Amino acid sequence: MLTAALRIAHRWKGRICFAIIDQGFGSATNFLATILYAAWLPLDGFGNYVILWTVSLFIETVQVALMIDGLPALVSRFGRSNRRRIDTAGAWVALGYGGVTSLLLLAAVPVLAAWDGGSAASLVCMAAINPVQRLYIYVRRLAYIRDRQDAAAAGAIVYCVTMVSGAFALHLLDMLSLSAILLLWGVGIAAAMLLTCAMGVPCLRATRRANVAWLALRLWRSGRWLVGGALCLWLSQWGMFPLAAAIGGSQAVGVLRALQNLFTPVVQFNAALFLALLPRVADHVAAKGRHYARSFALYGTVAFTGIVVVYSGPVLLGAERIVTLAFRKPEIIASIHLLWPLAAAVVLGAASQGAGMALLAENRTQAAFASRVASVLGFFAGAAVLGPSMGVEGLLWANAAANALGTAWLVAAALAVEKEARTSPGLRETDTFLKPT
């Protein structure tokens, strides 16, 4: 067993190393930017930044569910003979999604201007950079699918340097504002995407409309269940920010995001493993059958959970010193007790990653959707009970309970895969445009 483990580690060391670099620099960027903005901006201004950030995350969550998570299984099934057509069509689908969501953001500008005129310009800036963000998310995932983690890592390094140096420049020039931060965000993403594409990851190329329509339809068939699940996930995990704003104002949102940021490194580390492993797990499931998915669900759940537990222990033990050193704001220091429900939610969320990867690898998206529905229903039920009596802390404990419910559902579905494989009639291929190879 030790020899086999060492052999697997040797074969995967390059992929995982670059994936960790990619996610490490991406995590470092978000981690450092959050600390800097929390320290430099007024707490209510930082809270407004967090609210816009959650809006962008909502758009990204739908994109990942609709057209990103389903790509590995699709690429594994249809083989390398259709590689160029799938890559190019996917880029146009991502750009189209970015255009539609930007129009929706612009449509909300008059409403926001009537409520808070100072924030309308920020929403226009977000609409401007949104298509570039959507295209970069696709290009970055495609780098993993095509075993070009080195290109994704190079893009992440450029993104980190651009964002951190730009933040210091804006601060020193006394130009730091919400609109400036969003425009800097767009510049950093554009630079990262251009470098990733320059290193050989396909981007926008001419293609037939039929290719784009075919891929969009395939992604919708597999992703429609994930979209509903993604919306539920956003509501249960990030929907607490609007609720926190309603209970405690924008300052409460700023405090909550600052504390949550302490767990960003381990969340991004696990995301690196998830991105690196998912395409290859999909390949093994296609070659070896669904029993492989069940085995991976067991080991993956233990591994992802263990990583977060090891990280969270020192953070909780040294919470007061860490928060004081990082933020130096008394409102944040006085709220360190909120780290406990945040840590519980992160640990439980990690427990679902191994099982979730196994289900995605075999394109069983309905189970993921059902687990997310259970999670969001649990969150709102818990928030209704704990929110009025405990305030923001009640929302966080409701979130942790919702993660526990969703994780239990997902793990049960993944472990039941072998039984379903014996009773399922199997996959049917009805497409006439692209055939599996």
What's the rounded Cα separation, in Å, for the pair 211 and 431?
A: 12
Non-local (6+) Cβ contacts of 39 within 8 A are: 327, 328, 329
Query: For the chain, which ranges sit under pLDDT 50?
Result: 2, 5-6, 9-10, 418-433, 435-437
In angstroms, the CA 210 to CA 215 distance is 9
435 found inside a domain: no
Cα–Cα distance for residue pair 241/253, rounded to 1 Å: 6
19 found inside a domain: yes
Q: Is residue 256 part of a domain?
A: yes
Answer whether residue 94 is part of any domain: yes
Q: Is residue 429 part of a domain?
A: no
Which residues, including other chains, have CB under 8 Å from residue 314's CB and lie 6 or more apart? Answer: none
Residue linked to tokens 């926001």: 112
Q: What is the structure's pLDDT at 377?
A: 83
**What confidence tens digit (pLDDT) does each residue in 282-316 have?**
777 777 777 777 777 787 888 888 999 999 999 99
d(CA 205, CA 210): 14
Predicted confidence at residue 244, as pLDDT, reads: 82
- pLDDT given at position 334: 87
DSSP secondary structure letter of residue 61: H
Closest CA relative to residue 281, chosen from 261, 297, 263: 297
Domain that holds residue 89: 2-421
Please tell me the pTM assigned to this model.
Answer: 0.69
Three-state DSSP class for residue 18: helix
Distance, in Å, from the CA atom of 277 to the CA atom of 147, rounded to the nearest integer, reads 11
Inter-helix orientation angle 392-415/240-260, to 10°: 90
In a domain, 315, yes or no: yes
pLDDT in tens, 343-363: 998 998 888 887 877 777 766
Tell me if 78 is assigned to some domain: yes
Closest CA to 64 of 368, 417, 377, 337: 368
Based on the structure, what is the number of domains in the chain?
1
State how far the Cα of 307 lies from the Cα of 267, in Å rounded to an integer. Answer: 9
pLDDT recorded at residue 109: 84
For position 180, what pLDDT does the model report? 92
Q: Which two tokens stand for residue 227?
A: 């979209």
Residue 180 lies in a domain: yes
Count CB atoms within 10 A of the CB of residue 25: 23
Structure tokens belonging to residue 177: 């504002």
Which pairs from 298-301 meet CB under 8 Å and 24+ separation? 298/354, 298/415, 299/354, 300/353, 300/354, 300/355, 300/357, 300/358, 301/351, 301/352, 301/353, 301/354, 301/355, 301/411
